[in-house]
A and B are shown apart, each in its own frame.
Chain A
Amino acid sequence: MNKLNMNNSIINDENNNIIVFKDTIYTIMNQCIKTLNIEVKSNCKVIINDFRIIDKEDTNIEIKINSKASFIYNHSFINKNKYILNINTIYKNEESEIILNIHGINDNGNNTTSVNGIMSDKKNNILIEDIRLININNGSGIIIPNILVETSKIIANHNTTIGTVSEDELSYLMSKGISKIESKKLILTGFLINIFKDKKFITKMKEMIYWR
């Protein structure tokens, strides 16, 4: 089991059971994560920036969130074989938010991403899912939204797209004098880095992206 690097605001054990008491930003850089059980305590804000190049991996993430807490998961990946990502959301109290920004490229790989959970009558909870997959070189992907919403007192947004490289974007870059292959590389790299703000993290990512 891969263990995450953590700072002293987090308690963990060998199974990546983590309880967060303070505002924390994590980075996961090309690290295999099979299980991550994270509980965000009240009034805490947690951001996880996660980039991985995947050969064969199953990842199960469980997020427990307490009142007025915020959890943002920014995850991009290049999947070269098989990747199953399961995310379970548990809202323990009111006025909390979970934001999932996931951008994946299935480069001859197959991906299934599912987000599960129940949003019951606890007030003012928010779930925002933005999951986008680009399939290249016979890659394929499935996105499964599995959120049961039992109340009108919450916000649950589920935005997903699965497609290939945009022809409009390709034409635009080619019209600036860039070859089709270089244009495609630019678009794919931009797609992967676009959900992150940390410049150091982006620089590291760019070093790892093999088509650059």
Chain B
Amino acid sequence: MLKIENLNVEINNKKILKDFNLDIKLGEIHGIMGPNGIGKSTICKTITGDSNYLVTKGKIIFNSIDLLKLNITKRAKEGIYLVNQNPIEIPGVTNAEMLRIALFEKTGEVVNIYEFNKKLEETCDKLSIPRSFIHRGINEGMSGGERKKNELLHLWMLEPKLIILDELDSGLDVDSIKVVCDNLKEYYTNHNVSILIITHGPKLLKLLNASHVHILNEGKIIESGDFNLALKVGKEGYKKYNKAYLVSENEKNE
């Protein structure tokens, strides 16, 4: 479904990703782990097409389509969906208004208002958010947790094929994490999709049953494995991947 080959990305002339590779097949749930400031969010932004991130080398292929030739809108229409770490507010633009236009642009057909409203209300109920969110400004005056749920409301309506979760658990309390993860699992079960999770620790990977785990360091994946790798990192931390630590360990062995 998604194949990234030798991807090099810069922002403000600083190299963030260096020969980054990733292969996600249909139905797989992958997690990328790493400490703060290592470039995890860069992966998300580059896949979705943020023009601030300059791709200097490499390929991103999604369902046989060269994503680097498409802008953000076209990538989204192909089925790529990012749940941002900090979803922004768009004052005065309601969820319903935005979704109706997005669906019209995607399908070229005028939305059936009855079915549209029904699905919105059902999704609000599933997410334990008030139905009044439908006519509220996008993320306007919402808490961190409410914003994440609001992003899932959009997800259910837009029905993407690849879901990218950037630090989904930040700003969510224990109960909200469970609601959000259960909701994502339900979506995953009912749709033929893949998920890419960007996170610090193993908790979210466990809740979403990630099958593949990768460690990001120095702009590339340096170790891959199954969920046990996440557990190991959760126990031992990222120290062993730190350059200075590796040098000192080598010196000890010598």
A interface residues, Cβ below 8 angstroms from B: 168-169, 171-180, 182, 186-187, 189-194
Nearest opposing residue in chain A for B154, CB measure: A176
Nearest opposing residue in chain B for A183, CB measure: B73
Q: Are B93 and A177 in contact (CB under 8 A)?
A: no
Judged by a CB distance under 8 angstroms, whether B7 is at the interface is: no
Q: Which of B97-142 contact A (CB under 8 A)?
A: 97-99, 101-102, 105-106, 137-138
Q: Interface on chain A toward B: helix, strand, loop, or mixed SS?
A: helix
Q: Are B88 and A168 in contact (CB under 8 A)?
A: yes
Cα A171 to Cα B75 with chains together (Å)? 12
Known: A190-B93, A190-B137. A172 touches B88 (CB 8 A): yes
List, in ascending order, chain B residues with CB within 8 A of A182's CB: 101, 105
Q: Are A179 and B48 in contact (CB under 8 A)?
A: no
Q: Are B90 and A190 in contact (CB under 8 A)?
A: yes
Q: Are A191 and B92 in contact (CB under 8 A)?
A: yes
List, in ascending order, chain B residues with CB within 8 A of A176's CB: 76, 98-99, 102, 154, 158
B interface residues, Cβ below 8 angstroms from A: 48-51, 71-73, 76-77, 81-82, 84, 87-88, 90-93, 97-99, 101-102, 105-106, 137-138, 154, 158
Cα A47 to Cα B84 with chains together (Å)? 38
List, in ascending order, chain B residues with CB within 8 A of A175's CB: 48-49, 72-73, 76, 81-82
Cα A155 to Cα B141 with chains together (Å)? 24
Interface centre among B102, B138, B158 (most CB of A within 10 A): B102
Q: Are A169 and B72 in contact (CB under 8 A)?
A: no
Q: Are B73 and A180 in contact (CB under 8 A)?
A: yes
Q: Among the listed B88, B92, B105, which residue makes an inter-chain contact with A190, where contact means beta carbons less than 8 Å apart?
A: B92
Q: Are B73 and A189 in contact (CB under 8 A)?
A: no
Besides A171-B72, A173-B93, 8 more A-B contacts (Cβ < 8 Å) are: A175-B72, A177-B77, A178-B102, A179-B73, A182-B101, A186-B90, A186-B98, A192-B92
Summed over the interface, the residue pairs from A and B with CB atoms below 8 Å come to a total of 70
List, in ascending order, chain B residues with CB within 8 A of A171's CB: 50-51, 72
Cα A192 to Cα B141 with chains together (Å)? 18
List, in ascending order, chain A residues with CB within 8 A of B91's CB: 190-191, 194
List, in ascending order, chain A residues with CB within 8 A of B93's CB: 173, 186-187, 189-190
Q: Are B98 and A173 in contact (CB under 8 A)?
A: yes
List, in ascending order, chain B residues with CB within 8 A of A178's CB: 73, 98, 101-102, 105
Nearest opposing residue in chain B for A169, CB measure: B90
List, in ascending order, chain B residues with CB within 8 A of A191's CB: 91-92
Interface centre among A175, A177, A178, A194 (most CB of B within 10 A): A177
CB distance from A7 to the nearest CB of B (A): 28
A-B pairs with beta carbons under 8 Å apart, 19 shown: A169-B88, A169-B90, A171-B50, A171-B51, A173-B90, A173-B98, A174-B72, A176-B76, A176-B99, A177-B76, A177-B102, A178-B101, A186-B98, A186-B101, A187-B90, A187-B93, A190-B90, A192-B92, A194-B91
Nearest opposing residue in chain B for A202, CB measure: B92
Q: Are A172 and B73 in contact (CB under 8 A)?
A: no
Cα A180 to Cα B158 with chains together (Å)? 18
List, in ascending order, chain B residues with CB within 8 A of A189's CB: 92-93
Cα A23 to Cα B71 with chains together (Å)? 52
In order of increasing CB-CB distance, the 5 nearest A-B pairs are: A190-B92, A194-B92, A177-B76, A190-B93, A174-B72
CB distance from A57 to the nearest CB of B (A): 24
Nearest opposing residue in chain B for A76, CB measure: B92
Cα A86 to Cα B106 with chains together (Å)? 45
CB distance from B116 to the nearest CB of A (A): 15
Interface centre among B50, B51, B72 (most CB of A within 10 A): B72
Cα A178 to Cα B82 with chains together (Å)? 14
Nearest opposing residue in chain A for B48, CB measure: A175
Cα A14 to Cα B217 with chains together (Å)? 74
Cα A169 to Cα B101 with chains together (Å)? 16
Nearest opposing residue in chain B for A199, CB measure: B135
Cα A14 to Cα B87 with chains together (Å)? 50
Nearest opposing residue in chain A for B138, CB measure: A172
